[in-house]
Amino acid sequence: MSEVSIADYGLLSDCASAALVSRDGSVDWWCPGRFDSPSVFGRLVDADAGHWALGPAATESGRRSERAYVDGSLVLRTVHHTDGGSVAVTEALAAEPGARGHELGRNSPTVLARVVEGLTGTVRMRCDFVPRPEYGLLTPYLHRDGDGLLAAAGPVTLTLRGPVPLECAHGGAYGEFDVAAGQVVGFDLAYAPAYGPPPQRLDPVPVLADTVEAWRAIREVHRYNGRYPDLVRQSALVLQALTYQPSGAVVAAVTTSLPERVGGTRNYDYRYAWLRDFFLTIRAFWVGACPDETGRLFDWAARSAGRTGGRAVPIMYGVTGERDLSEYSLDHLHGYAGSRPVRVGNDAWRQLQHDVPGEVLLCAQLIRDSLGDLSEELQALLIELADQATHWREPDAGMWEERGPGQHYLASKALCWGALDCAVQLAPMLGTRADHERWAAVRDEIRVTVLRDGWNERVGAYTGVIGSPELDASVLVLPFTGMVAATDPRMRATIEAIASRLTTEGLVRRWPDDPVGFVACTFWLVECLVMAGETERAVALFERTAARANDLGLFAEQIDPRTGAHLGNTPLALSHVGLIGAAWRLTKPSFI
């Protein structure tokens, strides 16, 4: 059972893999090589699944800490204060030496660098190195390797180097050392597959400085000229950190199985890329990051989808386009705060979600000017997606991916409308197979049905499922598609119903019996309020929501409105996408 709150974790990324480090200096999650690789440190989901702690020893009294990212990078610096003095621990997943901008992550060295610097007095430090590869299933053999320590188990080789002697016992290495003011102690932990070249060796002090420059180069190309620039640029940096740079795919989060509700079972693996979030993510990159990233992400989606053969396009993929993401449980793990099961893979890949064609076609419409002449393959994909949207009358799983019988979700049907509306506009670019007359006829039929049958007179709002009396925050996306204006009386009434009946302490819940707020939905409400002309209310809600990020500007999936605790997988791309979209909506209310 983890005793560390989700919001206490900081993110480290090399744009290929990620690690989470707690405020007190313990790396409790690292999946080296790829975001979805097995962890070598997994204490986040089980006390015995491995960690690397580096912080003041238990004998140090008066401990407190403060932390921040260095100079607009994802290099983390934590200052620990004790009664005896203070030290700074600076750490990062290393950039390839000399990499700048979007080169970061193309050839990641897969090295975790950590440097301790004495600031005042003398502080007793402790290092606990407890690797447990394969999600804690393996306890490695530890061997001396020159001035380093080699941990080998199964498919994994880890080499830890540093000047501090560590005592090996029970598959771990432990030691304490003093750091005086002005003294610098560096560690580098390098990963490599067991049967390949040995792990790289990097000097941790210069590599941290170089990694700062690599991240700063990324941030410098993030051109944003709108309201809340510091918040937007930080969220854009998080999206970059969640990008698997070799392919351009953006993972939903870097974690698996962090619960929506502590002790609950809705614990899923989010280390994959969803087309469900595609349009909003592309829009966020377009607004707050580098436009080049929109093209790379679109190309990744097109290549991953491939030829559909008449089948529905899958809703999600692995970072290099894998389709089969079959799910299984790691029954040996106790889960975060006892929340089981811990899952690898995600069976949502099997679901039918009618929003997917809309997500991709809305993107194509958004960036059409940069697409140039469409290849035959891309033309075929967009036509197939438009044809898929004509099956809008079939039930689906909805954007919340309910694992039961399909239903007639209003947001899914609205996004089918969006798919066909964009297809009609793109038809001149799609060649002779574009059936724009049929698409236009079905589009118009969808709009009539959604606006007529989606409205629940007794509830006084559009509801989540046609014929259902239950409010659902997913209908906030209707104005984003262009199908209905936020100022339309019925849409305006829906916005007010969600603001009054699904909002608790300024956080929007997805449905009435959902006990916690969903960060992205709260930012969607901000956008809808702006579009409805309620700018003052929107500003207040935006600023209140933005203030709920942790001290490093990170959002998990959800927030408990009673306690402020972050819940769900973290950091969640969709939460940061929501912030960027809301900030730009407050800047430019009329944007798509």
Question: Does residue 48 fall inside a structural domain?
Answer: yes
Question: Does residue 1 fall inside a structural domain?
Answer: no
Residues 174 and 234 in one domain: no
The DSSP code sequence of 355-422 is: HHHHHHHHHHHHTHHHH-SPPHHHHHHHHHHHHHHTTTTS-B-TTTT-SSS-B-BHHHHHHHHHHHHH
* Per-residue model confidence (pLDDT) at position 218: 87
Residues 186 and 258 in one domain: no
Last residue of a domain, one of 218, 234, 260: 218
Q: The tokens of 532 are what?
A: 């409805």
Last residue of a domain, one of 187, 218, 249: 218
Residues 529 and 468 in one domain: yes
SS3 annotation, 55-103: EECCCCCCCEEEEEECCCCCCEEEEEEECCEEEEEEEEECCCCCCCHHH
| Whether residue 101 has pLDDT greater than 80 | no
SS3 annotation, 121-182: EEEEEEEEEECCHHHHCCCCEEEEECCEEEEEECCEEEEEECCCCCEEECCEEEEEEEEECC
Residues 407 and 541 in one domain: yes
Q: What confidence tens digit (pLDDT) does each residue in 36-64 have?
A: 999 999 999 999 999 999 999 999 999 99
* Per-residue model confidence (pLDDT) at position 215: 94
| Whether residue 293 has pLDDT greater than 80 | no
Burial class (CB in 10 A: 0-12, 13-18, 19+), 500: exposed
Task: Over range 364-377, report the average pLDDT.
Answer: 82
Helix or strand holding residue 222 (H, E):
none
Name residue 194's beta-bridge partners: none
Question: Does residue 592 fall inside a structural domain?
Answer: no
Task: Over range 337-355, report the average pLDDT.
Answer: 95
Positions of E strands within 420-478: 455-456, 461-462
Residues 265 and 374 in one domain: yes
Last residue of a domain, one of 194, 218, 242: 218
* Per-residue model confidence (pLDDT) at position 81: 97
Indicate the length of the chain as a whole number: 592
| Residue 291 belongs to domain with CATH number | 1.50.10.10
Task: Over range 444-455, report the average pLDDT.
Answer: 97
CA distance 106 to 248: 10
pLDDT class of 531 with cuts at 50, 70, 90 = very high
| Whether residue 184 has pLDDT greater than 70 | yes
Block residue for tokens 């009609």? 424
Question: Does residue 47 fall inside a structural domain?
Answer: yes
Q: What confidence tens digit (pLDDT) does each residue in 199-212 have?
A: 888 999 999 999 99
Do the beta carbons of residue 385 and residue 360 sit within 8 Å?
Answer: yes
Residues 450 and 571 in one domain: yes
* Per-residue model confidence (pLDDT) at position 500: 98
The secondary structure of residue 199, as a DSSP letter, is P
Give the CA radius of gyration of the chain: 24
pLDDT class of 198 with cuts at 50, 70, 90 = confident
Instruction: Lowest mean pLDDT of 180-189, 259-268, 452-461, name the range.
Output: 259-268
* Per-residue model confidence (pLDDT) at position 291: 67
Task: Over range 90-101, report the average pLDDT.
Answer: 91
CA distance 437 to 521: 35
CA distance 145 to 155: 18
| Whether residue 175 has pLDDT greater than 50 | yes
Name residue 113's beta-bridge partners: 92, 188
CA distance 308 to 539: 43
Q: Of 514, 490, 509, 505, which Cα lies nearest the Cα of 545?
A: 505
Name residue 30's beta-bridge partners: 19, 41
Residues 206 and 232 in one domain: no
Residues 427 and 343 in one domain: yes
* Per-residue model confidence (pLDDT) at position 307: 73
* Per-residue model confidence (pLDDT) at position 579: 98
Mean pLDDT across the chain: 94
Task: Provide the domain count of the chain.
Answer: 2
Q: The tokens of 349 are what?
A: 């890949």
Question: Does residue 232 fall inside a structural domain?
Answer: yes
Name residue 161's beta-bridge partners: 148, 188
Strands 461-462 and 455-456 come out as antiparallel
Q: The tokens of 303 are what?
A: 């290549």
Domain residue limits at 33: 6-218
Task: Over range 537-551, report the average pLDDT.
Answer: 98
> Helices (DSSP H) in 306-354: which residue ranges?
none
Question: pLDDT exceeding 70 applies to what percent of the chain?
Answer: 99
Residues 203 and 268 in one domain: no
Residues 462 and 338 in one domain: yes
pLDDT class of 301 with cuts at 50, 70, 90 = confident
- Higher per-residue confidence, 218 vs 425: 425
Q: What confidence tens digit (pLDDT) does each residue in 473-494 have?
A: 999 999 999 999 999 999 999 9
| Residue 203 belongs to domain with CATH number | 2.70.98.50
Task: Over range 115-142, report the average pLDDT.
Answer: 97
Task: Over range 24-41, report the average pLDDT.
Answer: 97
Task: Over range 438-465, report the average pLDDT.
Answer: 98
* Per-residue model confidence (pLDDT) at position 147: 81
| Whether residue 1 has pLDDT greater than 50 | no
Residues 207 and 230 in one domain: no
Question: Does residue 239 fall inside a structural domain?
Answer: yes
Task: Over range 339-362, report the average pLDDT.
Answer: 94
Calculate helix-pair angle for 376-389, 355-366, nearest 10 degrees: 140
Name residue 396's beta-bridge partners: 407
Do the beta carbons of residue 92 and residue 20 sit within 8 Å?
Answer: no
Burial class (CB in 10 A: 0-12, 13-18, 19+), 265: middle
* Per-residue model confidence (pLDDT) at position 289: 66
CA distance 216 to 185: 25
Peptide bond into 165 cis (omega under 30): no
| Whether residue 2 has pLDDT greater than 60 | no
Residues 275 and 147 in one domain: no
